[in-house]
Chain A
Amino acid sequence: MNKDYPIFVSLRIFALVLAQVFICSKLHFFGFVSPMIYVIFLYLYPTHRDRHLLLTAGFVTGLILDIFLDSLALHTICLTIMCYIRPRIMRFTFGLNFEQKTFRIHKTPAQHRFTFLYLSILIHHFIYFSLEALDPSMFVWILKKVLWTSVASFVLSVLVLALFSSKKS
Chain B
Amino acid sequence: MRRILNFFLGNTVRLLFWFYILIALGLSAQNQMYFSAAYLNTSNRITGSTHGFFNGISRYFSLQSENDFLQQQNRVLQQQLAQLPYPPDSLYKTKKNFSYISGEIIKNSFTAKDNYLTLSLGAEDSVSPDMGVVNEKGIIGIITHSGKKFSRVQSILNSQSRINAKIKGSDFFGGLVWDGKLPNVVQLIDVPNLAQISVGDTIVSGGMSAIFPDQLPIGTIKNFELTQAKDYYLISVRLFNDMQNIGRVYVIENQLRTAIEDIENQSNE
Q: Which residues of A contact B (CB under 8 A)?
A: 22, 25-26, 28, 31-34, 51-52, 55-56, 59, 62-63, 66-74, 76-77, 80-81, 84, 132-133, 138, 141
Once the chains are docked, how many angstroms separate the CA of A77 from the CA of B31?
A: 14
Q: Which of A31, A72, A133 contacts B183 (CB 8 A)?
A: A31
Q: Does B114 contact A (CB under 8 A)?
A: yes
The 6 closest A-B pairs by CB, nearest first: A73-B28, A76-B24, A70-B116, A73-B27, A59-B20, A73-B24
- Distance from A114 Cβ to chain B, minimum over Cβ atoms (Å): 25
Check A66 against B16 for contact (C-beta < 8 Å).
no
Q: Does B4 contact A (CB under 8 A)?
A: no
- Distance from B57 Cβ to chain A, minimum over Cβ atoms (Å): 10
Nearest-CB residue, chain A, relative to B26: A73
- Among the 9-residue stretches B81-89, B105-113, B134-142, B161-169, the one with 4 or more Cβ atoms under 8 Å from chain A is B105-113
Check A31 against B16 for contact (C-beta < 8 Å).
no
Check B28 against A72 for contact (C-beta < 8 Å).
yes
A-B contact count (CB 8 A): 86
Once the chains are docked, how many angstroms separate the CA of A77 from the CA of B111?
A: 19
Using C-beta atoms within 8 Å of the partner chain, give the interface range for chain B. 35 or more
Q: Does B17 contact A (CB under 8 A)?
A: yes
Q: Which residues of B contact A (CB under 8 A)?
A: 12-13, 16-17, 20-21, 23-25, 27-28, 31-32, 39-42, 44, 47, 50-51, 54, 58, 107, 109-114, 116, 118, 152, 180-181, 183, 244
Nearest-CB residue, chain A, relative to B31: A72
Nearest-CB residue, chain B, relative to A140: B181
Q: List 7 A-B contacts (CB under 8 A).
A: A22-B54, A28-B111, A34-B111, A67-B40, A70-B41, A76-B24, A80-B20
Nearest-CB residue, chain A, relative to B41: A70
Q: Which of A68, A138, A141 contacts B42 (CB 8 A)?
A: A68
Once the chains are docked, how many angstroms separate the CA of A56 from the CA of B23?
A: 12
Once the chains are docked, how many angstroms separate the CA of A158 from the CA of B169?
A: 55
Check A55 against B20 for contact (C-beta < 8 Å).
yes
Q: Which residues of A contact B110 (CB under 8 A)?
A: 28
Q: Which residues of B contact A74 (CB under 8 A)?
A: 28
Among B47, B112, B113, B181, the one with the most A-chain Cβ atoms within 10 Å of its Cβ is B112
Check B244 against A80 for contact (C-beta < 8 Å).
no
Q: Which of A32, A55, A71, A73 contacts B16 (CB 8 A)?
A: A55
- Distance from B152 Cβ to chain A, minimum over Cβ atoms (Å): 7
Check A68 against B50 for contact (C-beta < 8 Å).
yes
Q: Which residues of A contact B32 (CB under 8 A)?
A: 72
Once the chains are docked, how many angstroms separate the CA of A72 from the CA of B50?
A: 19
Check A55 against B13 for contact (C-beta < 8 Å).
yes
- Distance from B119 Cβ to chain A, minimum over Cβ atoms (Å): 12
Starting from the known contacts A51-B13, A63-B24, A63-B27, 20 additional A-B residue pairs (CB-CB under 8 Å) come to: A28-B244, A52-B13, A59-B23, A62-B24, A66-B27, A67-B42, A68-B50, A70-B42, A70-B107, A70-B118, A72-B27, A72-B31, A72-B114, A73-B27, A73-B31, A76-B24, A80-B21, A80-B24, A133-B180, A138-B180
Once the chains are docked, how many angstroms separate the CA of A72 from the CA of B116?
A: 10
Check B42 against A132 for contact (C-beta < 8 Å).
no
Nearest-CB residue, chain B, relative to A26: B58
Q: Which residues of B contact A67 (CB under 8 A)?
A: 39-42, 44, 47
